[in-house]
Amino acid sequence: MEKLIIIEGTDRTGKDTLVNRLVESAEHAVKRHFTFPEGETDEDKTFFQQLVFNREFRIWKIVDREMRNTLMVWNRSYIGEAVYGTIYRNSRPHEWLWDLEKHWEMHIDPRVYLVVLYADPEFLVAKEDGKSYSNRLQDKTREVEAFLEAFHKTAIQKKLLIKVNNGGEYIDREDIFNQVQSFVNDQES
């Protein structure tokens, strides 16, 4: 059965590691990574994102139709843009992203899975490598809260929320992978 697994969450939560592990474990897999929006103005960036997300949904449908037993894994998605676009770019993506989800029937497709990784904001600040949008505690707190809100707001029915830290340490990456695999397998039955 073809599947789309969307991996979301704040920076420093292990998305890349999980995505790579999922792809390695599948017989046939396609990995897609959503990029920072291009453009000079917020309107340009919003238009760019709309085009990108529409393209990615179409690619998912083509893979679904033509490549049997293929796993597609999205590293970030429109959900991440709902968080980062709102907090850092003031692009108000919430005005169109959730409609896009419904337009492409992500909310009712039984092969779509969402995994959101999150951590305590203090942990994220301590693990900051300088590549994130911000290293300030108040910004990390807003990001975590926004991802949790987006997790609950999305209409995707098969979704899993994983906290990746226990105090000042990461949860074992293999344990997180196993949680995701079990979740997907349980949802299939």
What is the chain's percent helix, strand, coil content, to nearest 5?
Answer: 50, 15, 30
* Strands 169-170 vs 165-166: parallel, antiparallel or unpaired: antiparallel
pLDDT at 1: 58
- Residue-range domain boundaries for the chain: 3-188
Distance, in Å, from the CA atom of 41 to the CA atom of 105, rounded to the nearest integer, reads 30
Instruction: Tell me the CATH number of domain 3-188, given options 3.50.30.50, 3.40.50.12160, 3.40.50.300, 3.30.479.30.
Output: 3.40.50.300
Distance, in Å, from the CA atom of 155 to the CA atom of 167, rounded to the nearest integer, reads 31
113-165 pLDDT, tens per residue?
999 999 999 999 999 988 888 899 999 999 999 999 999 999 899 999 999 99
Lowest-pLDDT range of 56-70, 106-120, 139-153, 166-180: 56-70
Q: How confident is the model at residue 60 (pLDDT cuts 50, 70, 90)?
A: confident
pLDDT at 189: 61
Distance, in Å, from the CA atom of 89 to the CA atom of 85, rounded to the nearest integer, reads 5
The pLDDT of residue 8 is above 80: yes
